[in-house]
Amino acid sequence: MTPITGQEHWTTKKTADGDVKLFLWEKYVGAPEDQAGKPVMLWVHGSSMASQPTFDLTVPGRPDSSVMDWFAERGFVCWCVDMEGYGRSDKTRDIYCDIANGAADLEAATDYIYATRGVRSFLTYGISSGALRAALFAQNHPERVSRLALDAFVWTGEGAPTLEQRRKKLPEFIANKRRPIDRAFVRSIFSRDHADCADANTVEAFADAILALDDSMPNGTYIDMCSRLPVVDPLKITVPTVVLRGQFDGIAGFDDLLSFFKHLPHPDKQFTVLNGISHASFQQKNYKMVYQILHAYFTQPAPAYTDYGH
């Protein structure tokens, strides 16, 4: 098998406070000059972990734990980016790092990828608050998103017991720009909804990878999800979209997502319930099922006939 290459990149986001450094990670198979023309994926992480632990995880005895590797082996070029305040990106500004700030990070990241690789449009996946960032990015820049996948998404927050519990700490989140995290917190991501959905070795490897980069996380996405929803308008998301909802997810309310889905204007849309999955789908026992669903949607042939926009 041809080895997979991982390459780090850095770019800057212009802000009123000065330049912010953002870390990007690229993976592909083959020589750099052979990547032109391949489909390009952009992976967007959530509220409580950076990008590489989420999308490029290694778990001994668990093959294909890196979704970036799995797609790279199937002919894709994969990119992820640490949002400002996370992982290897800058954490110096005294800000909350909310959903809108993350969408701006994606704008800066795709500016860089276009400048260095000539890529204009991306197969874009976001999970949890990363799905909100990705959706807002698609709303702001539909020309940069060829197909959109929203996993563990939330629209208005209706029917989300995890958010109901989280709102009790809203004054604490508002009072502090960041919140500490530890191994017990990472474990709680998996135990709060349905503990049997993930195995202990994967949870511990995930915690190792997260805590190697961060001991605290920005509070902006928590504040948005607890008090400012909705932050995106489905009528303004005009790209093909698949919505994925874990069977046991305590954040992605089923009826809330169905209402969002009904309002999406593009006829090329799908709604999928992920059997036996709670919130962090790539770290669950049924992770390969999610890979297959995404692969099918991202390789779907163009329609021979469409009347969209008539």
Bond before 230 cis per omega within 30 degrees: yes
Domain that holds residue 243: 4-298
Residue 308 has a pLDDT of 82
Is position 221 within any domain? yes
Is position 8 within any domain? yes
- What's the pLDDT tens digit per position in 163-192? 999 999 999 999 999 999 999 999 999 999
Is position 304 within any domain? no
Residue 243 has a pLDDT of 98
The C-alpha angle with vertex 256 and arms to 252 and 257, in degrees rounded to 5, equals: 65
What residues contact residue 303 under an 8 Å CB cut-off, 6+ apart? Answer: 268
Residue 310 has a pLDDT of 65
Is position 307 within any domain? no
- What's the pLDDT tens digit per position in 62-95? 999 999 999 999 999 999 999 999 999 999 999 9
Is position 205 within any domain? yes
Show the beta-strand stretches assigned E in the chain: 4-15, 18-29, 40-44, 77-81, 122-127, 145-151, 178-180, 216-218, 241-246, 269-274
pLDDT of residue 277 exceeding 90:
yes
Is position 310 within any domain? no
Average pLDDT, the chain: 97
Alpha carbons 22 and 6: distance in angstroms, whole number: 17
Residue 242 vs residues 44, 49, 150, 193, 287: alpha-carbon distances, Å: 15, 23, 6, 23, 17
Phi and psi torsions of 182, nearest 5°: -150, -175
Q: Within a 10 A sphere around the Cβ of 303, how many other Cβ atoms?
A: 10
- What's the pLDDT tens digit per position in 119-140? 999 999 999 999 999 999 999 9
Q: What is the CATH number of the domain that holds 228?
A: 3.40.50.1820
Specify the residue for token string 């999610």: 290
Longest dimension (CA), the chain: 54
Q: What percent of the chain has pLDDT over 90?
A: 97
Alpha carbons 71 and 292: distance in angstroms, whole number: 10
- What's the pLDDT tens digit per position in 235-254? 999 999 999 999 999 999 99
Residue 220 has a pLDDT of 98
- The total of structural domains in the chain comes to 1
Is position 281 within any domain? yes
Residue 2 has a pLDDT of 79
Indicate the pTM of the whole model.
0.97
